[in-house]
Structure 1
Amino acid sequence: MTQRSEQLVLDYLSEVGLELHGRLTARERTLFLADVRSRIDARRAAAGRDDPATVRDILLGLGTPRDLVEREVTGRDLDLEDEELLPPRPRQADRPPPPWRGGPPAGGLASLLEGSRSKGAGTRTARRGGSLRGVAAVVRRHPAEAAALLLLLAAVPWGWGLSFLWVLGTVLVLLSPVWSAGDKRIAVLVPVLGCLAGMALWEGEADFVDEYVQQSLAATGVAGLGLGSLVCVLHLYLRLGRA
């Protein structure tokens, strides 16, 4: 075996491999090239000589790489276990099957109304489930912030004497690393401004300023403070969900 003869064989097999690309799988290409190599070696052994001229005649007897591939690969059975050669899924396969093959029933207007009704019920159920999952996620990920929101929410009915809960909830909001500085300013200023607006809307009368503050705060100021706290709870909850 001479180096020149072996190089002729390797060049021939390389061209055959290029012709096989895209027609056979990698495993099948390897088997095909091994078979061609074994046939070449068998003819070299039968010739009794291994000079380049003999090897060139053997390769000419097999034909050009393209002729060899066209002759021996065309019409072969595909290996269905190899997904490389499987054709892509047709778009028709994604369409729903007809009613007689297990698809949706074709019941005219009644079926359309029934489908719309069931779709609406499913949408409402999905929305309720999504809201509950959102609240659970906020409580699980941000327990301290959720406690602050609960305190602010419990402080809304001021008539129950729970006004001190607003102070505790606001302190937790200010200490939170989740809410931004703008959110914290809203949590403080909106309830205070609501309280002042409620006091300004009081229609009663008082002889002294301290009496006016005390009576207006008890009458309408606490209501404005509770309404502002409710607005802050909604705002902070939405911001917490995004965070």
Structure 2
Amino acid sequence: MIERADQLVLEFVSKVADAAHGRLRPEQRLDYVQRLRASVERARGGSEDARHVAKVIAGFGTPDDLIDREIRRLAAAEHAVQPTAHQAAQPVGEDDTAVFPVVVDDGEPRRGVPPEVADYRRPPPGVSHGRRIARERISRQADRPAPLTRLRRAAMAGGNPMATGGRDARTIFLNNRRETLALVLLVVAGLLVPFRLATVAIFPVPGIVWAAAALTLLSCQGWSFSDRLIGLAAPVVAYAVGGVLLGAARSEGGGVQAFMVSFHNVSGVLFILGTAAAVSWLAFRLLDPPP
């Protein structure tokens, strides 16, 4: 199985989260993992190349080194805040005026409050970054809606989010190009059946295309072996078994010639139906693979 770029990122972030267990508080651990994931995605630049993503991840260092640097950063930040906390703990004299800090979401100043009086409390960096990304995505979708959004959402309605990583059907098919090629060849083999094409030697053209789809399908790693057998057997079984049964029923004991005519009339349609069933099953298993 070829490692996917998204899987490399998730595995790296999971290892860092495991290394932070017991060394950072839960809220610190969650905030750091979110900021690290965002940093990796920015450095990755949207690349789907597993080798490039592996090089990007290697540049961040080992999980233990990352946690050590985060602990030192938190210690330095806490040390810098201690003088301010010490001043706030001093008792207020009779001639002093008590000033209460102003807590404002996202650090936005309140109207009428001088900057030297207001104590602006900012959310953690990971929260601010997540809010900024959410605002950008909402504004981008409002300005330019993506084409076929409803169709793509419908295709992913039954998808497993842990297996798909939250991606849509288009991304999954692009990341599984060999599997997509096998599905396309199966569809082409079914679509060529109604056309009366000349045979190549003694082989019909749809059969040659199906053979190419079979070879491609057997070399795919995105499906289990049983799923690949189902995808290959469905058109053949529908063509052979269904054609024989329906041909015999339609010929009504009219002899071999009548049976062959009936078989020829119904077997092509059954092959198309079997191909449609195989493609539907394989596409479903690719979008929502078994655990």
Q: TM-score, normalised by structure 1?
A: 0.49
| Structure ID, larger Rg | 1
Looking at secondary structure, tell me which structure has more helix per residue. Answer: 1
